[in-house]
Amino acid sequence: MKTDVLIIGAGAAGLMCAIAAGRRGRRVLVVDHANKPGKKILMSGGGRCNFTNLGVAPACYLSANPHFAKSALARYTPADFIALVEKHRIAWHEKEQGQLFCDESSKLIVRMLLDECAAAGARVETSCAVERVRKTEEGFAVLTVRGEVHAESLVVATGGLSIPSMGATGFGYALARQFGHAVRPTRAGLVPLTLSGKHLERYQDLAGVALPQAGARVGKRAFRAGLLFTHRGLSGPAILQISSYWQPGDDLRLDLAPDAEAADWLPAQRAARPAAELKNVLADLLPRRLAQRLCEVWFGSRPMRQYREAELREIGHRLHDWPVVASGTEGYRTAEVTLGGVDTDGLSSSTMQSKRVPGLYFVGEVVDVTGWLGGYNFQWAWASGHAAGEAA
């Protein structure tokens, strides 16, 4: 069978690429080994798909080349995707920090992409695994379980390694290496952190305790969002965000009370409530169980008058700069994304085309571009898929 553009992976980037290429009159075939398209879109955003973010900017992406994402992001913006969503009358809302979600269900986003593919004449075949790819004079010969497909252009949109149970494979990385591309080391991103030994014992039974706002910092990089204690360690948006910047051995600090000036507040409380126990005073600032635990392990809990002002200031400073010794991450099993991937040095930033092999493209998460939590990763998938679809 012959086609102009063959896309491997019917996820966010692959489907967007198919739409753009199909609209240009190219014959497009998308193949995916999973039994249905867009599985990650379906499970995203708690079933409501956080499909973009109004604050998208190149600075919100991690990559060995921080400039690489600029061109594609500038040419397919959140406003472009919102226009598509509105064309399909899908109701949406902004949740917080520019994050846009469907009012109803992520299924509507997958339906929209498939309808657009159909309108552009792009075919999507699921349960169609790819076994081998070779370069031919005219382009590429791709052996699938349904036979060989010959294509002028080949787009690799196979995503990252996160959530293997959803069909994630390292196939895109292997293909990149086959064609002489460098692949930067991969690791789990946007992922809960684990604690071990005494560090876990101290907090484990706080599982379920949540802080609506906390700061998480590694070096100069800091995020402020919710934090959650889990049976294995720490999670919540602030932790997921910082996890992409954290590596084993890095110094991770938490601000447990970012809205307070705890170092001034505690001495003031001493004057106002001298007989109150510290753990009860801290419970005005922190979840009660956490306040109690911090007192048990570190601060003691005596009436406020029995603490010196300097001691209370020190405790206040500590709450804003709490050291955490994380032992690792929960890994690809629960990670939202994969950091690293196909080295951008080998790709054109305007078309995603390989600089080594004309007609070969890499889009979406398989590329070494990873966004923050909050719709940034889908926007990269849409933008990079669109850029390749305009060129392939």
Ligand X SMILES: Cc1cc2nc3c(=O)[nH]c(=O)nc-3n(C[C@H](O)[C@H](O)[C@H](O)COP(=O)(O)OP(=O)(O)OC[C@H]3O[C@@H](n4cnc5c(N)ncnc54)[C@H](O)[C@@H]3O)c2cc1C
9 in the Ramachandran plot: left (φ > 0), alpha (ψ -120 to 50) or beta? left
CB closer to ligand X, 157 vs 282: 157
Rounded to the nearest whole angstrom, what is the least distance from the CB of residue 71 to ligand X in the complex? 18
Rounded to the nearest whole angstrom, what is the least distance from the CB of residue 368 to ligand X in the complex? 12
Rounded to the nearest whole angstrom, what is the least distance from the CB of residue 93 to ligand X in the complex? 14
3-class DSSP assignment, residue 197: helix
Distance in angstroms between the alpha carbons of the first and the last residue of the chain: 18
Q: Which has the closest alpha carbon to 151: 2, 9, 23?
A: 2
CB closer to ligand X, 158 vs 354: 158
CB closer to ligand X, 51 vs 322: 51
Rounded to the nearest whole angstrom, what is the least distance from the CB of residue 229 to ligand X in the complex? 20
Q: 239-255 burial string, b = 16+ CB within 10 Å, else e?
A: bbbbbbbbeeeeebbbb
Rounded to the nearest whole angstrom, what is the least distance from the CB of residue 225 to ligand X in the complex? 14
CB closer to ligand X, 140 vs 322: 140
Rounded to the nearest whole angstrom, what is the least distance from the CB of residue 132 to ligand X in the complex? 11
Q: Which has the closest alpha carbon to 268: 302, 196, 229, 316?
A: 316
The residue sitting closest to ligand X, measured at its beta carbon, is: 11
Report the distance separating Cα 269 and Cα 187, nearest Å.
Answer: 45
Rounded to the nearest whole angstrom, what is the least distance from the CB of residue 385 to ligand X in the complex? 7
Rounded to the nearest whole angstrom, what is the least distance from the CB of residue 166 to ligand X in the complex? 7
Q: Which has the closest alpha carbon to 7: 125, 112, 116?
A: 125
Rounded to the nearest whole angstrom, what is the least distance from the CB of residue 154 to ligand X in the complex? 12
CB closer to ligand X, 131 vs 309: 131
**Cβ-based burial of 219 (10 A; exposed 0-12, middle 13-18, buried ≥19):** exposed
CB closer to ligand X, 215 vs 364: 364
Dihedral angle computed from the Cα positions of residues 285, 289, 294 and 297, in that order, rounded to the nearest 10 degrees: 170
CB closer to ligand X, 110 vs 315: 110
Q: What is the CA radius of gyration of the chain?
A: 24
CB closer to ligand X, 77 vs 204: 77
Q: Name 356's Cβ contacts closer than 8 Å, sequence gap at least 6.
A: 179, 180, 181, 346
Beta bridge partners of 154: 6, 360
CB closer to ligand X, 103 vs 259: 103
Q: Which has the closest alpha carbon to 14: 128, 94, 95, 114?
A: 114
Q: Which residue has the tokens 């349904």?
A: 146
Residues that bind ligand X (CB under 6 A): 8-14, 32-34, 39-40, 43-45, 49-50, 129-130, 157-159, 162-163, 167, 169, 171, 336-337, 364-365, 375-378, 381
- The Cβ of residue 313 has, within 10 Å, a number of other Cβ atoms equal to 16
Q: Name 203's Cβ contacts closer than 8 Å, sequence gap at least 6.
A: 195, 229, 233, 234, 293
